[in-house]
């Protein structure tokens, strides 16, 4: 039985087809990138996995059980900033652990400190979200979602608002966490470099209605280990170009073409 399975999943709003029927199997512990042009239906797909939206047909199953309403098995990081303004930075992260029975108070404090360090916000633990930048608020939201300990992380262009350096650090951190904690991650992006650098496998989607153009085995080409040097290898360059051609051919009005 596969871990996470999309079976004939499709979505329409009224007469408008957003996602054409597709099948996809996701292995446990895999980091999957959904790559596709703006407006193709990526957020809609994530909302269906998260349970915020129902497929018009087909089903999404976790270990054979059809997924319905949102629950703690899937944690979501959205495109827009989603830190709670009434809690401090540390409070936001700790809030993510409110249902965790596996951690006592001391373990929660330690986990909060570790996650704050991971996203580079230790100094801002006691600040409120309205006093930090948008990129920092997004890092708070990421740490809070990681804190919840969900087995599937759904990340919808979470690094879009960050500068290139912070983005690269978080990409490396995400891969490390994902491998250490055996998380299954679906990461949405329209950035070919980000998809190539992060993913074990890239699912390239066409413009709306989203259809799978190709499933690209990145781990098979680059290996599972990623470092800052990975980006400088010939294999990475070839992969990036391959994805770029897929996205350009996808017909999105806002593909990554210069
Ligand atoms: N509730 C809704 N009712 C009607 N149409 C919708 C609804 N939600 C999304 N859509 C349409 O579905 C299409 C896909 O939207 P979606 O947000 O999933 O795209 P996306 O790939 O995430 O885009 P982006 O890369 O810009 O975030 C868009 O044309 C959008 O207008
Ligand atoms: Mg979107």
Helix (H, G, I), strand (E, B) or coil at 3: coil
- Exposed / middle / buried, residue 211 (Cβ in 10 Å: 0-12, 13-18, 19+): middle
Domain total of the chain = 2
Do 21 and 61 lie in a common domain?
Answer: yes
CB distance 45 to 39 below 8 Å: no
Rounded-to-integer distance, Cα 155 and Cα 147, Å: 14
Torsion of Cα atoms, 174 then 98 then 52 then 54, to 10°: 100
The mean pLDDT of the chain is 91
Do 30 and 63 lie in a common domain?
Answer: yes
222-248 pLDDT, tens digit each: 999 999 999 999 999 999 999 999 988
Q: In DSSP terms, which residues pair with 61 in a beta bridge?
A: 5, 66
- Exposed / middle / buried, residue 231 (Cβ in 10 Å: 0-12, 13-18, 19+): middle
Q: Is residue 177 part of a domain?
A: no
Helix (H, G, I), strand (E, B) or coil at 235: helix
112-169 pLDDT, tens digit each: 999 999 888 999 999 999 999 877 888 898 889 889 888 999 999 988 878 888 888 8
28-81 pLDDT, tens digit each: 999 999 999 989 999 999 999 999 999 999 999 999 999 999 998 999 887 776
- Exposed / middle / buried, residue 189 (Cβ in 10 Å: 0-12, 13-18, 19+): buried
Q: Report the CATH number that the domain containing residue 218 is assigned in CATH.
A: 3.40.50.300
Pocket lined around ligand 1, Cβ cut-off 6 Å: 13, 18, 36, 38-44, 190, 208
Centre of ligand 1 to C-alpha 154, Å, is 17
Cβ < 5 A residues, ion ligand 2: 42-43
Dihedral sign, Cα of residue 110, residue 180, residue 149, residue 102 = negative
Do 20 and 48 lie in a common domain?
Answer: yes
Q: Is residue 216 part of a domain?
A: yes
138: Cα separation from own chain's centroid: 13
Which ligand 1 atom is the nearest neighbour of the CA of 46?
A: 18
Strands, sheet with 16-26, edge to edge from the N-terminal-most edge strand: 16-26, 4-13, 57-62, 65-66
Closest protein CA for atom 5 of ligand 1: 13
Closest protein CA for atom 4 of ligand 1: 13
Provide the residue range defining the domain that includes 131.
Answer: 77-149
Closest protein CA for atom 31 of ligand 1: 39
Do 141 and 195 lie in a common domain?
Answer: no
- Out of 42, 48, 160, mutate this one to test ligand 1's pocket (max ligand atoms within 8 Å of CB): namely 42
Q: Is residue 167 part of a domain?
A: no
Do 1 and 67 lie in a common domain?
Answer: yes
Rounded-to-integer distance, Cα 78 and Cα 141, Å: 8
**Residue 257 binned pLDDT confidence (cut-offs 50, 70, 90):** very low
Q: Report how far apart, in Å, the C-alpha atoms of 83 and of each of 93, 140, 166, 199, 248 are.
A: 9, 6, 18, 26, 34
Centre of ligand 1 to C-alpha 22, Å, is 18
Closest ligand to 208 CA? 1
């Amino acid at each position: 039985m596969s871990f996470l399975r999309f079976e004939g999943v499709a979505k329409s709003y009224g007469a408008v087809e957003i996602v054409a029927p597709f099948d996809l199997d996701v292995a446990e512990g895999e980091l999957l990138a959904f790559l596709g042009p703006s407006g193709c239906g990526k957020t809609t797909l994530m909302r269906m996995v998260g349970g915020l939206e129902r497929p018009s047909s087909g089903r999404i199953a976790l270990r054979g059980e059809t997924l319905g309403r949102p629950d703690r098995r899937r944690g979501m990081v959205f495109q827009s900033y989603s830190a709670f303004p009434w809690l401090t930075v540390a409070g936001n992260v700790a809030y993510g652990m409110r249902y965790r029975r596996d951690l006592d108070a001391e373990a929660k404090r330690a986990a909060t400190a570790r996650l704050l360090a991971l996203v580079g916000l230790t100094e801002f633990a006691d600040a409120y979200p309205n006093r930090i930048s948008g990129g920092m608020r997004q890092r708070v939201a990421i740490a809070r979602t990681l804190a919840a300990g969900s087995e599937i992380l759904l990340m919808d262009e979470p690094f879009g608002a960050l500068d290139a350096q912070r983005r690269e650090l978080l990409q490396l951190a995400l891969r490390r966490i994902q491998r250490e904690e055996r998380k299954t991650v679906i990461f949405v992006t329209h950035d070919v470099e980000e998809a190539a650098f992060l993913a074990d496998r890239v699912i390239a989607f066409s413009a709306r209605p989203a259809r799978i153009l190709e499933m690209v085995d990145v781990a098979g080409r680059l290996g599972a280990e990623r470092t800052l040097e990975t980006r400088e290898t010939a294999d990475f360059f070839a992969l990036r170009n391959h994805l770029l051609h897929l996205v350009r051919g996808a017909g999105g009005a806002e593909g990554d073409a210069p």
